[in-house]
A and B are shown apart, each in its own frame.
Chain A
């Protein structure tokens, strides 16, 4: 295997103060060529710091950063084959759309006709060909976004960094741009590193996601891994809705475990990688992975406390007998009559292997 496109080893960033602020705490990560890689987390989790370190705007307090095996750590931004799409776009207001897009190529000393050709291609790629001579102040937010993208892609960087580029767009435009970004990444074959706090954006676009919190990387995996197999409570809670079910490990068989629930029933659950947990644990169960049924049939008995209709699906809020709450989400079908109504004694059920044991 060739060296990773971007490889971070124990990257640490501390802003001195009283007390010191640890923006990034020994983060290690490998990002492969042609990947659409997302750094996901709440604000202040260190994702932007990590991105700015890759761009060269921030210097790590310790740790190393390599690109295809070459050390980047002390290279200034203008010597890194990495381009950034800024959150504010940062288009040059005194230059036209075409001049903005050609800026990187011009700085690289490319010949004039090559710049012209590439700028033309880029404007076509982002569907901005009609706007070449406009000033950047005369185009809409969505168009500015496209120009910022084209400008960063034009020098054909090895890695493209995107710092929450969709956050300033309205809902509809954001949806379109999500697909557009994915298309651009596939077409250009450039590694994209995308920073966002929006879990949906992360799930729909990414090949892999790194979930971050408090300066550390909590879990790295594909969207399905992250969603179906959260390794810890923070990840399960941050991405999607989750039911946390107290359980006791009865038998550990490596990847799987037999866990005993509060009702005394036992079910097979997945174990997080590389852990040997025993005793009391917490199980994460997604609302749409569970179902409700007759009181004696399921795993966790309780009372149906509320039914909320959402159009595409219905949420059943259940007050379990062990005192905790549980939400079951079920997709609606035409001409459906609900088998239960509020106040009924029922039970919650989920199949073996659905529950995920959390590390903490």
Chain B
């Protein structure tokens, strides 16, 4: 019998794997190390210090950008998750309808269309609205973020709904539960790990966005990532490393929580 192909046994496998991981994680590792640099360089080590964390914490611009990022991420993930739940229900709990595949593709469109296209389109579209209404608030960013967060919230929720036994909802209806109570008492309690996972994914994606934010934001509406990008154009200090390290910490926590939630069995 032919031996099964095992990639681990190919020559150079180990080397390629090690090099890949080093390339992936070395820069992040260095970024974290230099966030504790006592000196002002991001390349020359001058001893351990919390200096840049304190500096970032005290920096009013960082504070404002952080709060702005969190506010946008909160609303974008809340709205996109709500819409994603409705979309997931409509694409899994209704009779098959004409154009269902097209609807599915349209919901996931932000995953396919280059971000820069969406960014330019939104810039132009919002500019028209700005001229017409005069409103220049944070809403534009919330709407933009909501739009590209929807597929990220939608996919885990839909996966969960598909995995759920339809007989449970029928059993509830059989036991005198009208449709809305079937949803609140049976569907929703089993769906919540999917909803939380979707919301978290949306939150992280929103928190991280640069391209669309850069195009859509008005003056003085820097989020943390766009603020950092702005800083890099001027003087680069380990303060940026410190902020990145904190963001990294948040993302890793979220990803771990996401994994745990998606494994959760009801």
Asked if A93 meets B190 with Cβ closer than 8 Å, knowing A78-B178, A88-B167, A107-B181, the reply is yes
> When each residue 96-107 of chain A gets 1 if its CB lies under 8 Å from chain B and 0 otherwise, what string results?
000000011001
**Most chain-A Cβ atoms within 10 A of its Cβ — which of B172, B176, B266?**
B176
Q: A77-B173, A84-B171, A103-B172 known; A94 and B189 CB under 8 Å?
A: yes
Residue from the list A77, A78, A94 in contact with B266, Cβ < 8 A: A94
Q: Verify if A282 is at the interface (C-beta below 8 Å from B).
A: no
Contact with B along A227-240 (1 / 0, CB 8 A): 00000000000000
Residues of A within 8 A of B (CB-CB), count: 24
Contact of A107 with B168 in the complex, beta carbons under 8 Å: no
Contact partner of A104 (CB less than 8 A), chosen from B165, B167, B175, is B175
Inter-chain contacts of A103 with B (CB < 8 A): 172, 175, 177, 185
Residues B170 and A90 in contact, CB atoms below 8 Å apart: yes
Q: Give A93 to B173 CA distance when docked, in angstroms.
A: 16
Q: Which residue of A lies closest to B171 (CB)?
A: A90
Which residues from B are CB-within-8-Å of A104?
175-176
- The answer, yes or no, to whether B186 is at the interface (CB within 8 Å) is yes
In the complex formed, the residue of B with least CB distance to A79 is B176
B174 beta carbon closer than 8 Å to chain A: yes
Number of A-B contacts (CB under 8 A): 64
A180, B78: Cα distance in complex, Å: 51
CB contacts (< 8 Å) of B170 on chain A: these are 55, 57, 77, 84, 86, 90
The answer to whether residues A77 and B174 also contact, given A93-B266, A107-B181 and a CB cut-off of 8 A, is: yes
Q: Give the complex CA separation of A152 and B173 in angstroms.
A: 12
Which single residue of chain A is at the shortest CB-CB distance from B173? A77
Tell me the interface secondary structure of chain B in the complex.
helix
**Assembly CA distance A57 to B170 (angstroms):** 8
Q: For B164, give the chain A residue with the smallest CB separation.
A: A93
Q: Which of A76, A82, A90 contacts B167 (CB 8 A)?
A: A90
Q: Is the CB of A92 within 8 A of B174?
A: no
A83 interfacial contact with B, CB 8 Å:
yes
Specify which chain A residues have a CB less than 8 angstroms from the CB of B167 in the assembled complex: 86, 88, 90
| Complex alpha-carbon distance, A108 and B175, angstroms | 8
- Report whether B189 and A83 are in contact in the complex, using a CB–CB cutoff of 8 Å: no
A52 to B, closest residue via Cβ: B170
Measured between beta carbons, the chain B residues less than 8 angstroms from A82 are 174
Q: How far is the CB of A110 from chain B (nearest CB, A)?
A: 10
A158 at the interface (CB under 8 A from B): no
Which A residues are closer than 8 A to B by beta carbons?
A: 55-57, 76-79, 82-84, 86, 88, 90-94, 103-104, 107-108, 151-152, 155
Q: Which 6 A-B pairs rank lowest in CB-CB distance, beginning with the nearest?
A: A104-B175, A90-B167, A90-B171, A107-B176, A77-B173, A107-B177
11 residue pairs of the A-B complex, CB under 8 angstroms, read A56-B173, A57-B170, A57-B173, A77-B174, A86-B171, A90-B165, A90-B167, A93-B266, A103-B177, A107-B172, A155-B175
Given contacts A78-B177, A92-B186, A107-B181, 19 further A-B contacts (CB under 8 A): A55-B170, A76-B178, A77-B173, A77-B174, A78-B174, A78-B179, A83-B175, A84-B171, A86-B167, A88-B165, A90-B168, A90-B170, A92-B168, A92-B171, A93-B266, A94-B189, A94-B190, A107-B175, A152-B174
